[in-house]
Amino acid sequence: MAFISSTRAIPEALQVPRHVAIIMDGNGRWARRHFLPRVAGHKRGVETVRTMVKACMARGVEYLTLFAFSSENWRRPEEEVSFLMGLFVSSLESELNKLNSNGVRLKVIGDLSRFPPRLVEVIRQGEELTAKNSRLTLTIAANYGGRWDIVQALNHLSSQNPGKAGAYSEDDLAPHLAMAYAPEPDLFVRTGGEQRISNFLLWQLAYTEFYFTDQLWPEFDDAALDAAIDSYRCRERRFGRTSEQLAAILAPAATDDA
Residue nearest ligand IPE by beta-carbon distance: 28
- What's the one-letter identity of residue 63? Y
> Among 194, 219, 230, 244, which residue interacts with ligand IPE (rule: CB under 6 A)?
194
Please say which residue, 13 or 52, places its beta carbon nearer to ligand IPE: 52
> Is residue 68 near ligand IPE by the rule CB under 6 A?
yes
Task: Choose one: 56-64, 147-155, 163-171, 192-200; the region binding ligand IPE (CB under 6 A).
Answer: 192-200
CB of 194 to Mg ion, least distance (A): 7
Tell me the angle at which helices 78-101 and 117-130 cross, rounded to the nearest 10 degrees: 20
**Cα–Cα distance measured from residue 117 to residue 82, given in angstroms and rounded to the nearest whole number:** 13
Q: At CA 96, angle to CA 104 and CA 60, rounded to 5?
A: 20
Q: Which of 5, 65, 70, 204 binds ligand IPE (CB under 6 A)?
A: 70
Strands, sheet with 136-144, edge to edge from the N-terminal-most edge strand? 104-109, 136-144, 63-70, 19-23, 187-190, 209-212
Of the pair 24, 92, the CB lying nearest ligand IPE is at: 24
Per-residue contact flags (x/-) with ligand IPE for residues 27 to 46, judged by CB under 6 A: xxx-----------------
Of 45, 139, 54, the C-alpha closest to 91 is: 45
Which parts of 20-59 interact with Mg ion (CB under 5 A)?
25
Q: Which of the stretches 19-27, 152-160, 166-174, 201-209 binds ligand IPE when contact is defined by CB under 6 A?
A: 19-27
Closest CA to 89 of 25, 22, 142: 142
Report the alpha-carbon distance of residue 53 to residue 72 in Å, rounded. Answer: 25
Closest CB to Mg ion among residues 20, 68 = 68
Catalytic site includes residue 257: no
Closest CA to 5 of 179, 135, 122: 179
User: For residues 75, 176, 62 and 135, what is the CA-based torsion angle, rounded to 10 degrees?
Assistant: -100
Active-site residue identified among 25, 27, 143, 186: 25
Which residues carry out catalysis?
Answer: 25, 73
Q: By the criterion CB under 6 A, which residues form the site for ligand IPE?
A: 23-29, 67-70, 73, 84, 192, 194, 196, 198
Q: By the criterion CB under 5 A, which residues form the site for Mg ion?
A: 25
